[in-house]
Amino acid sequence: MSQPQIIQVFEQYQKARMQFVQSVALLAVRPHNTGGLQNVGVMALLRPLLLDVVPKVQQTAVLALGRLADHSEDLARVLVKEDVLPPLVHSLASQNRFYKKAAVFVLRAVAKHSPELAQAVVACGGADALVLCLEEFDPGVKEAAAWALGFIARHNAPLAQSVVDAGAVPLLVLCLLEPEIAIKRIAASTISDVARHTPELAQSVVDTGAVPHLAQMMLNPDAKLKRQVLSALCQISKHSVSLAEMIIEADVFPAAMSCLKDPDVYVRKNVTTLMREVVKHTPELSLMIVNCGGVAAVVDYLGDCRGDLRLPGIMMLGYVAAHSESLAMAVILSKGVPQLAVCLSEEPEPHVKAATAWSIGQIGRHTPEHAAAVTRANLLPKLLELYVDAASSEDLQAKCKKALKSVLQMCTYLPELESLLYDAPSNILKHVVCQLSKVLPHDSKARRLFVSSGGLKKLQEITAEPGSALQEHINTINNCFPEEIVRYYSPGYPEALLERVENYQPA
Amino acid sequence: MTTCKPTRKNNMTELHVIQSALEEFQREYFNRNSQAEENRRREHQAATQIQSWFRGCKVRAYLSYLHKKAIIIQKIWRGFTARARFRQMVKAAYFIMKMNFYEEMAVRIQRRWRGFFVRKYIHNFYARKRYLEGLYRKNEVVRRELRELEELQKRARESLEMVKEQRAKVKQAHHLHHLLSTKQCPGIFNSPFRPDPHEMELLLKQVKYQAPTRLASREEACALGMPGQAPPSLPGSPGSPGIKTTRTSNASKLKLPPIASRKQQDVFREPGEVWQQRVHCPDLTSRLQACYAQLEEAQSRLRQHESVRLRIGDNTGIQQRDKICTLPAEQQQRCFYSLGRRQELQIADYTQTPRGEVLPGTMGWLIRRLRANQVLYTTMSGHVCVCRRSEHFLPFTLD
């Protein structure tokens, strides 16, 4: 055969390979094709192509593998089992940037599914190779590597630790300084994934000086970047007081509140979460947030959003109020209680309701003044209703009960207490009657009102075990009324009177 | 036998009398004896009874005597101890009373003080009220500011939208330029049945026609999907940051100016720049600026200056001179420290220098302390040397 003929054969073969790989890669884009591709044994065919002489074929094969692994965990597992990863990782150092990007994509696709797969990626030196890729000049490669590291670190603390040990964090911080928005986003998200697990990991992130950069980027106009940055900040601050103080020191706070009016809901949610994480540590931190008007802003935020987005805001109010009575007063003053009442009635989700009930309990438990604020919003009947409702979850019931108890123990507003007398179950009734027994002996007008509104009658109808606390409280109340009145309102009184008429012997 | 007188007859009778008397006596004696023997037991018992009674009396009397004495002792002792205890009790009671009083007074003072302190500094009602009012105002301000900010952002977004829309319209007008009505034939936007033309017609009139630029077939690389094309299939992946990869293909859409036209670059510089260049006198390097005798001059100047200083501070003793030796500013020292290795080489050279003395006015810089009494030292003339500290006049002698 002549030379041109030989060449023609080879060209033909190369074209066919190229076409094959490209079409597999195209097919792999659709998730529903993966099953079919797997059934026809695509792995066995792609695997030799990874070592193809033509770089373009190689790289497209890697890309196809990455897409397949991205869609199905099974295929990802097969990839790990057939030891495809180690050669990929080794070739990362030598190949061009397109190949690197594709290979890093494969690593990411494998690592994203489960901790075991991510562990497999780390075990074959993936983390170190990815960190090397972070040093690459090409922004695409950097971004892909940061993304893959984020997926690895996301699963659990040991994996995140291995990412940190590979020295990724300083490079990620450098990535934050890149001009490309996409790299910034990914770097911020990876930092947040690393910092979320343990205080030590968060500390290692802080030690690389990430916080000032993150704080600086918080006001970037790009919404997605803001989301990631804020989530990173809140993952850092959630662990300990010192870390939260670090965040405060970076002057995050009055500035972050402007994000509460961002058009993007997740930015708003993340800001609120950040506030919650900062606030929960100490009264001083809460005071700082309260003083810069954070509570009012969060209350407004609660008015703007619905559903799960409200949860961090609700909890933030609860955490602030839990610290001290003046902080709880600040929440009340910022019109937090009516807002929480709205949340309690609007939200269908039981866990949001439970959080709201908890927050209300935290606000009302400090002084009678606080309890009065809660009662004025007409929250006690609502809480009681939720507590009694058989449809509400166990957690919600427990939270409602706790809130009711803590508010009732401070409540001195009699009409509200009386209304509770009628439909409260005995374990709540105990607290209601206890409050009544504390207030009535000292207030003659209230005693009169209590009798005329029928409270005394209701009280006599309560059957309590003799010797129980409830009975004692009832006795205390009875003691502050004349005996005839008490007897008059006792349930069997008409019969007793009639009996006396029968037994009466006229002289 | 007492009546034996010398007359015989008499004696005989007397004897007989005596004998009868003797018998009498014997009988008597015997009777008595037997009687005595009879009564003996009884008498003995009686005697014993008497004795026992007597002795009993005696012992009882003694005992009662002892009792009486014991009671006396006891009553005195008891009285003594009771009085002592009573005194103690009174003392204790008095003490307790005093303590109660003190404590009550202390409580009174503490009550006042604590009330005052707490009211003033901790639960200051007015301060709290002021704080809450301030907070209320602050909240209002924050709310207003946030609302304003939102408004501002919204407006900015809207204007951006509008601009974008306008641009899209103009672009469309470019594309639809062929629909512009002509003098002969009205276009579709200029219907003769309408009172006035469609706004698009006006836009079309405004827009200047541009010949379509032929774009290079830029999509050729698209079949080869870079990983950049992968992310669009992923947005639903759980917790994915929802981020699109930077597209390198974006770059191809950017229209770059043609490379060939170098015409745009001006041959001439800006007039101001040219003027600058004319006027500007290039800096002489430091070597050119310095006089060749500068080092010596500086040394002599320093020496003069130093001698004046030494004379002033002569009587303050060795410490002062120590200070002079380490006189230069820290920055200079640090600078020397940073030089590090190179100087060590120099030291090696200079340890060979002959023994000499540092002149009284010589100024130098301490580089580092080698041992307790040795320092590495540099003179102003640039010699590095090891100095040993000596007791007398000079702080360091030159090795």
Same domain, A65 and A139: yes
Q: Token digits for B63? A: 């005992």
Nearest by CB to B227, which of A63, A154, A293? A63
Q: Is B80 near chain A, with CB under 8 Å?
A: no
Q: What is the pLDDT of residue B152?
A: 92
* Most confident listed range (A237-251, A399-413, B84-98): B84-98
Checking if the pLDDT of B260 tops 50, the result is yes
Q: What is the pLDDT of residue B220?
A: 42
Instruction: Look at B379 and B140; give whichever has higher pLDDT.
Output: B140
Question: In the predicted model, what is the mean pLDDT of residues A342-366?
Answer: 92
B residues 301-330 closer than 8 Å to A (CB):
none
B160 pLDDT band, cuts 50/70/90, is: very high
Checking if the pLDDT of A146 tops 90, the result is yes
Crossing angle, helix A223-237 and helix A241-249, to 10 degrees?
140
CA separation, residue A104 to residues A34, A283, B223 (Å): 20, 45, 20
Q: What is the pLDDT of residues B179-232, one digit of tens each?
A: 888 888 878 887 778 888 788 888 888 887 776 665 544 444 444 444 443 333
Question: In the predicted model, what is the mean pLDDT of residues A128-139?
Answer: 89
Is residue A175 domain-resident? no
Is residue A45 domain-resident? yes
Question: Helix, strand or coil for residue B259?
Answer: coil
Same domain, A126 and A246: no
Q: Token digits for A336? A: 């937090």
Same domain, A338 and A257: no
Q: Strand order of the sheet with strand B374-379?
A: B356-357, B396-398, B384-389, B374-379, B364-371
Give A256-260 contacts, CB < 8 A, sequence gap 24+: A256/A218, A256/A230, A257/A292, A257/A293, A257/A294, A257/A297, A257/B142, A257/B146, A258/A219, A258/B146, A258/B149, A259/A218, A259/A219, A259/A226, A259/A230, A260/A297, A260/A298, A260/A300, A260/A301, A260/B146
Mean pLDDT in chain B?
A: 71
Q: Is B127 near chain A, with CB under 8 Å?
A: no
State the virtual CA torsion across B8, B10, B14, B15 in degrees, nearest 10.
Answer: 20
Same domain, A7 and A147: yes
A157 pLDDT band, cuts 50/70/90, is: very high
Is residue A480 domain-resident? yes
Q: What is the ipTM of this complex?
A: 0.80
Rounded to whole angstroms, how far apart are CA atoms B55 and B48? Answer: 10
A residues 408-447 closer than 8 Å to B (CB):
none
Rounded to whole angstroms, how far apart are CA atoms A282 and A241? Answer: 7
Same domain, A72 and A184: no
Name the residue of chain A whose CA is nearest to B155's CA.
A263
Same domain, A130 and A198: no
Is residue A195 domain-resident? yes
Last residue of a domain, one of A411, A428, A443: A411
Last residue of a domain, one of A223, A255, A280: A280
Checking if the pLDDT of A51 tops 90, the result is no
Checking if the pLDDT of B234 tops 50, the result is no
What is the residue whose two structure tokens read 């014991």? B70
Same domain, A208 and A225: yes
* Contacts of residue A292, Cβ cutoff 8 Å, sequence gap at least 6: A253, A254, A257, B138, B142
Provide the CATH number for the domain around residue A356: 1.25.10.10
Same domain, A258 and A347: no
Q: What is the pLDDT of residue B358?
A: 47
Same domain, A438 and A485: yes
Q: What is the pLDDT of residues B306-346, one digit of tens each?
A: 776 555 544 444 444 444 444 445 544 444 444 444 444 34
Residues of chain A with C-beta less than 8 angstroms from the C-beta of B139:
293, 295-296, 333-334
pLDDT over 70, % of chain A? 100
Q: What is the pLDDT of residues B16-56, one digit of tens each?
A: 888 888 888 899 899 989 988 899 899 999 999 999 999 99
Mean pLDDT in chain A?
A: 90
Q: Domain residues for A348?
A: 282-411
Question: In the predicted model, what is the mean pLDDT of residues A309-317?
Answer: 93
Contact between B139 and A336 (Cβ < 8 Å): no
Q: How many domains does the structure of chain A reveal?
A: 4
Contact B230 A29 (CB under 8 A): yes
Contact A333 B139 (CB under 8 A): yes
Contact A258 B243 (CB under 8 A): no
- Tell me the sheet residues that pair with B379: B364
Question: In the predicted model, what is the mean pLDDT of residues A190-194?
Answer: 94
Q: What is the pLDDT of residue A153?
A: 93
Backbone angles phi, psi at B368, to 5 degrees: -160, 160
Checking if the pLDDT of A249 tops 70, the result is yes
Sign of the torsion angle spanned by Cα atoms B2, B4, B5, B10? positive
Give B213-218 contacts, CB < 8 A, sequence gap 24+: B213/B255, B216/B252, B218/B249, B218/B252, B218/B253
Is residue A174 domain-resident? no
Checking if the pLDDT of A32 tops 70, the result is yes
Rounded to whole angstroms, how far apart are CA atoms A443 and A450? Answer: 10
B359 pLDDT band, cuts 50/70/90, is: very low
Residues of chain B with C-beta less than 8 angstroms from the C-beta of A66:
227, 230
Least confident residue range of A448-457, B207-216, B296-305:
B207-216
Checking if the pLDDT of A425 tops 50, the result is yes
Question: In the predicted model, what is the mean pLDDT of residues A30-51?
Answer: 88
Burial of A270 (0-12, 13-18, 19+ CB in 10 A): buried
Q: What is the pLDDT of residue A281?
A: 93
Same domain, A320 and A437: no
Question: In the predicted model, what is the mean pLDDT of residues A253-262?
Answer: 86
Contact between A253 and A293 (Cβ < 8 Å): no
Q: What is the pLDDT of residue A8?
A: 93
Contact between B397 and B357 (Cβ < 8 Å): yes
Same domain, A270 and A246: yes
Residues of chain B with C-beta less than 8 angstroms from the C-beta of A186:
241, 243
Last residue of a domain, one of A105, A133, A166: A166
Is residue A125 domain-resident? yes
Q: What is the pLDDT of residue B324?
A: 43
Rounded to whole angstroms, how far apart are CA atoms B63 and B265? Answer: 148
B residues 202-241 closer than 8 Å to A (CB):
223-230, 233-234, 237, 239, 241
CA separation, residue A386 to residues A313, A380, B337 (Å): 21, 10, 75
pLDDT over 90, % of chain A? 52
Give B255-259 contacts, CB < 8 A, sequence gap 24+: B255/B213
What is the residue whose two structure tokens read 């005394």? A456
Residues of chain B with C-beta less than 8 angstroms from the C-beta of A112:
237
Same domain, A306 and A449: no
Half-sphere exposure of B381 (CA within 13 A, CB side): 12
